[in-house]
């Protein structure tokens, strides 16, 4: 659609997602403060239920099922087709600024100054700086370029890099993450850099490295994304970042963003006004699971939530606190549909000493 002058209303940090997946997780992008979630732009879809019924869902037709399916984690039926609004663009380029910031307070300042004039904003963050500043990073903001002259300028295709094998587990540790952060932060010498770039590297930088997850080694990683309401943002961030440093956990890719106040249309949608942080932790078994349970407690205290799309371990208790509307949602689940996620977050744990993961895996293997 880009060569025809149209762009997605909301796009995540990877282009390898389907429309069904974008609806089922009610995904958000760098423009959440301006455009809300993907679901805000969906006007209609058809849902196939396990009894063979095909239901057209929209804000006016089967409206409760429409709200349950947006952010409904694939549990209400199969989306066969969907209709959603695109937005017009003049060319496929983005005018982009990279601005270095040296504290969380400076992040808030740049963010406040950018929300009005920039459609897209997000930040890469280095958590290891510590002290009063809490973090440092690079604030990225952008708008669609408006020049007709660029409409016919061809985009140079770059061949993607690929990680051909898993890196050894020891390759990613606090020291290597600190070294990477230092290099990345200082690679930009000036406070602010302005460039016009094709949309692809602006929105999807990780897609240019195929199999990038192999850098976490054979045991892989867990992504942890939370949102905390603005009222508690500074103190909760201070607590969470302190815990991460204390635990010696190095998040290689950390992304910080402000969610705006456009209501999400789905019953179980994750985005809500506040500060959202996405972290990647190399997986080291029980140690990582226990550590993330501790972070959950802080998120619960603030009235925030964890993003189910990125989750592989949250407990039933955490989920039901983050999403108290889950019982209302459950009425719309297709009677023949389930998932290991849903069983984990709705079945109280039999033995609290067993890991969430082990309990979920064993439940999964028992029920087809
Ligand atoms: C590098 C990277 C960056 C990301 N950045 C972001 C981001 O910025 N913002 C964000 O919100 N998310 C982000 N994500 C998460 C991603 O956008 C979501 O997980 C998305 O839902 C994946 O879509 P998919 O098509 O791959 O679906 P899958 O992963 O295959 O499935 C996701 C869910 O959608 C359901 N589903 C899929 N198709 C259908 C269908 N036809 N009918 C009903 N249910 C269906 C599945 O059952 C499942 O519950 C990122 C992921 C990666 C790997």
pLDDT digits (tens, 9 = 90+) for 268-277: 999 999 999 9
Indicate if ligand 1 lies below 6 Å from the C-beta of 25: yes
Percent of the chain surpassing pLDDT 90: 72
Q: How far is residue 201's CA from residue 204's CA, in Å, rounded to a whole number?
A: 5
User: Does residue 362 carry a pLDDT above 50?
Assistant: no
**Ligand 1 nearest atom to the CA of residue 76, by list position:** 43
Contact (CB, 8 A) for 228 and 294: no
Average pLDDT (295-301) is: 97
Position 182 scores a pLDDT of: 83
Average pLDDT (171-190) is: 81
Does residue 232 come out as left (phi exceeding 0), alpha (psi in the -120 to 50 range) or beta?
Answer: alpha
Q: How far is residue 163's CA from residue 169's CA, in Å, rounded to a whole number?
A: 15
In the reported structure, the alpha carbon of residue 75 is separated from the centroid of ligand 1 by a whole-number distance in angstroms of 13
H helix runs in the chain, sequence order: 19-24, 32-35, 63-69, 104-115, 174-187, 199-203, 233-247, 286-302, 316-322, 326-330, 340-346, 356-366
pLDDT band at 174 (very low <50, low <70, confident <90, very high): confident
Residue whose CA is at the smallest distance from ligand 1 atom 10? 27
Hey, how many other C-beta atoms are within 10 angstroms of the C-beta on 345? Answer: 23
Q: How far is residue 134's CA from residue 284's CA, in Å, rounded to a whole number?
A: 25
Average pLDDT (117-127) is: 95
Q: How far is residue 346's CA from residue 360's CA, in Å, rounded to a whole number?
A: 11
User: Does residue 128 carry a pLDDT above 90?
Assistant: no
**Ligand 1 nearest atom to the CA of residue 270, by list position:** 11
Q: How far is residue 317's CA from residue 288's CA, in Å, rounded to a whole number?
A: 18
**Ligand 1 nearest atom to the CA of residue 17, by list position:** 25
The pTM (predicted TM-score) of the whole model is: 0.92
Our CA angle for 181, 234, 308, nearest 5°, is 75
Query: pLDDT per residue over 230-274, tens digit each?
Result: 999 999 999 998 898 888 877 878 999 999 999 999 999 999 999
User: Does residue 199 carry a pLDDT above 90?
Assistant: yes
Indicate if ligand 1 lies below 6 Å from the C-beta of 39: no
pLDDT band at 360 (very low <50, low <70, confident <90, very high): very low
Contact (CB, 8 A) for 119 and 34: yes
pLDDT band at 289 (very low <50, low <70, confident <90, very high): very high
Q: Which of 101, 255, 223, 126 is CA-nearest to residue 184?
A: 126
User: Does residue 194 carry a pLDDT above 80?
Assistant: yes
pLDDT band at 350 (very low <50, low <70, confident <90, very high): low
In the reported structure, the alpha carbon of residue 194 is separated from the centroid of ligand 1 by a whole-number distance in angstroms of 31
Position 132 scores a pLDDT of: 81
Indicate if ligand 1 lies below 6 Å from the C-beta of 79: yes
Position 349 scores a pLDDT of: 61
């Amino acid at each position: 659609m880009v060569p025809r002058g149209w762009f997605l209303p909301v796009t995540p940090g990877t282009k390898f997602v389907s429309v069904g997946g974008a609806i089922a997780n009610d995904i958000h992008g760098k423009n959440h403060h301006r455009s809300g979630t993907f679901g805000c732009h969906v006007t209609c879809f058809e849902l196939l239920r396990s009894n063979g019924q095909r239901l057209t869902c929209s804000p006016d037709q089967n409206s409760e099922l429409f709200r349950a399916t947006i952010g409904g984690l694939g549990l209400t039926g199969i989306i066969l087709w969907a209709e959603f609004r695109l937005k017009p663009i003049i060319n496929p380029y983005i005018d982009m600024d990279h601005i270095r910031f040296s504290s969380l307070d400076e992040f808030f300042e740049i963010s406040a100054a950018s929300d009005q004039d920039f459609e897209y904003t997000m930040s890469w963050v280095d958590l290891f700086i510590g002290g009063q500043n809490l973090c440092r990073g690079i604030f990225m903001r952008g708008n669609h370029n408006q020049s007709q002259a660029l409409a016919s300028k061809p985009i140079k295709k770059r061949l993607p890099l690929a990680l051909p094998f898993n890196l050894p587990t020891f390759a990613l540790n606090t020291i290597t993450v600190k070294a990477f952060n230092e290099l990345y932060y200082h690679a930009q010498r000036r406070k602010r850099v302005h460039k016009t770039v094709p949309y692809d590297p602006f929105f999807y930088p990780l897609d240019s490295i195929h199999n990038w997850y192999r850098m976490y080694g054979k045991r892989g990683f867990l992504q942890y994304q939370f949102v905390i309401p603005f009222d508690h943002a500074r103190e909760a961030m201070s607590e969470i970042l302190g815990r991460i440093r204390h635990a010696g956990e190095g998040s290689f890719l950390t992304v910080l963003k402000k969610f705006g106040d456009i209501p999400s249309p789905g019953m179980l949608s994750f985005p809500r006004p506040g500060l959202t942080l996405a972290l990647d932790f190399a997986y080291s078994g029980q140690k990582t699971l226990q550590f993330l349970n501790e972070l959950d407690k802080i998120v619960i205290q603030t009235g925030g939530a964890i993003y189910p799309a990125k989750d592989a371990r949250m407990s039933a208790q955490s989920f039901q606190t983050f999403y108290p509307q889950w019982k209302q949602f459950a009425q719309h689940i297709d009677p023949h549909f389930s998932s290991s996620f849903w069983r984990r977050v709705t079945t109280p744990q039999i033995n609290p000493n067993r890991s969430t993961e082990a309990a979920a895996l064993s439940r999964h293997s028992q029920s087809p």
